[in-house]
Structures are given as C-alpha cells and as structure tokens.
Amino acid sequence: MPGLPPTQLRLLHVHAHPDDESSKGAATTAKYVDEGVEVLVATCTGGERGSVLNPKLADDPQVLANISEIRAREMERARELLGFRQVWLGFVDSGLPEGDPLPPLPDDAFGLVDPVVAAGALVKVIREFRPHVVTTYDEQGGYPHPDHVMCHRITLEAFKAAADPDLWPEHGPAWQPAKLYYHMSFHSRRAEQLELVMHEQGLDCQFAHLDQDPFSYGRLTTFIECAKYFPIRDEALRAHATQIDPDGPWFAVPLAIQQAGWPTEDYQLVVSKVPTMIPEDDLFSGLRPQPLVPEFMI
C-alpha cells in the first residue's frame, strides 16, 4: 500500500446528511480531486427530516412537500462542483429533536440503529472502493446531532470490520484502510484568528461560533493547505440551497480574510497503519512515493 502514485490514492468521506460533505472538508476534497486522488462520499441518510434553514425557502410549499427529492438534487450539484463520487447508505434521517426533555426519535431513525449491524452497509462500500484514508466526525459527532454521532459509531465499526475476513464475508474480500481521521475545522483557535484578522481590517466581526469541542484545537494533528479551493467550497455550500442561507453565518467572514487568516482545513489523525510524523500537511502522509536518496560516489 505505501508508495502509491496519486492516481491510485483513494479517500472516503463518511457523512450523515447531504450538505455535510460541503460544510466539512470540501476544500480538502477539491484539492485532492484536482491532484488526481479518487474521492468517494458515503452519505448515511437522505436528509428527509432536515429543516429548511434558508429563510427564503422556508415557507415554500413545493420545497416542504418535496424535500427528499430536492436534497438529492442539491447533492448532485455539489457532487458536480467538487468532483467526487457519491453513494447513499440508505438510512433514514433522524431529524434534530428539540425541547426539554428531548422527544424520542422516530422509530425508523438512523440515530437508533445498532451500529454493529448498520456498519455492514459501510463495510460493503469500503471493500468495494478500497480507500486508503477514511474521514468522519469525532465522538460528539462534531456537534451532538444523533445522526452525526451514529455516523461516527458506524464508521469506527466499519473501519475495523472491513479488515476482518470473518465479518461480512458477503461484502467481498477484506480491506484495511491505512488511516482514519476526524474533521476538526470548527475549533476556537480558528474562530479567534479570523476575528482578529477582521478587527485588524477594521471590519465588524459577526463570525458565528458554531457548536465546537473546546478541546478540539489540542487534538489537531493535520493541517491541509487548501485556501485556493475555498471559493469552490462556498459554491458547493450554496448548492444546498434548502440548508444554507447565502446571507447567513457561513459567509459572514469575507473569503479573502478566511484565506489569509486560516488557510487550512484541519483534522485529527485517529488511526494510522503507516509511519507518519505529526503535525502532518497531507492526509496521505506515509502513503506517497518516497523521494529517491541520491547515492554519492566515494
């Protein structure tokens, strides 16, 4: 496995809903696609119960009546923009329960599945695609949405199970991905730095502090330089028109300030089957061809 050329390197992102692939790691995806890496997105649910978060569409009866089809079309557009392949795992969106106490999830919700059983669908994808690198969310799901937490659980289970020939033999020969990462781009250090740059530019800072693990910055291991791909990331985000308000907090910080203030997307390396050195600047560190060391004549 080590020493593969870029055209043979394969990256699998596992996400909970359509739009997550554009809000987490999209510039990284565009960078690697541009370099010839094969990128596949496995989307756990269809986003069937997702709220319409764009106020311009929130009261549109056609949108509300056809949300599943619309979200699938939005994903198709994002897929075209970023250049990845995509597969649906077929689970049903849990929705986001709100209230105190929280109401129970619907009986068919992804958030209620047995992760050991549900991992079989992802094992099949892993064995067919044979990724060298897999990404997903941390144990909190990035934020505590039940589908994000379950996405984390089934990814960890499938990462191990796909390598065990005694498990899920009906899904093909065993395959061991070399590395597993968590998305970690929404952390306090990034938010603080962007706010600082905005203030230096004399701009009123309304940067949205999204739900974030206060300890995430200390967990970062890997920083992918991808600022030149931030514009295509933003296009992919806007493609999810029912979920992303083009005048909302996702775009509160000017693009040039994002590129100058924090030009990376950030990750935590969780598992590596190959030697690597921290900090990394490449998800495929340890997997690329090593430069030849010249032999000196004595």
Range of the domain at 216: 6-272
Rounded CA-CA distance 29/83 in Å is 8
Nearest to 157 by CA among 108, 183, 123, 134: 123
Tell me, yes or no, whether 285 lies in a domain: no
Q: What is the pLDDT of residues 74-87, one digit of tens each?
A: 999 999 999 999 99
In a domain, 298, yes or no: no
Instruction: Please name the helix (run of DSSP H) or strand (run of DSSP E) that holds residue 225, with its range, or none.
Output: strand 222-225
Structural domain includes residue 239: yes
Is 297 contained in some domain? no
User: Is residue 291 classed as helix, strand or coil in its secondary structure?
Assistant: coil
Residue 91, amino acid: F
pLDDT tens-digit series, residues 13-41 = 999 999 999 999 999 999 999 999 999 99
Annotated binding site for Zn(2+): 17, 20, 148
Q: What is the overall mean pLDDT for the chain?
A: 90
How many residues can be counted in the chain? 298
- Whether 71 is in a domain gets the answer yes
pLDDT digits (tens, 9 = 90+) for 271-282: 999 999 999 999
Q: Is residue 97 part of a domain?
A: yes
Q: What is the CATH number of the domain that holds 80?
A: 3.40.50.10320
- Of 28, 74, 18, 41, whose CA–CA distance to 183 is shortest? 28
Binding site residues, as ranges?
A: 17, 20, 148
Confidence label for 56 from pLDDT (cuts 50, 70 and 90): confident
In a domain? residue 54: yes
Total number of domains constituting the chain: 1
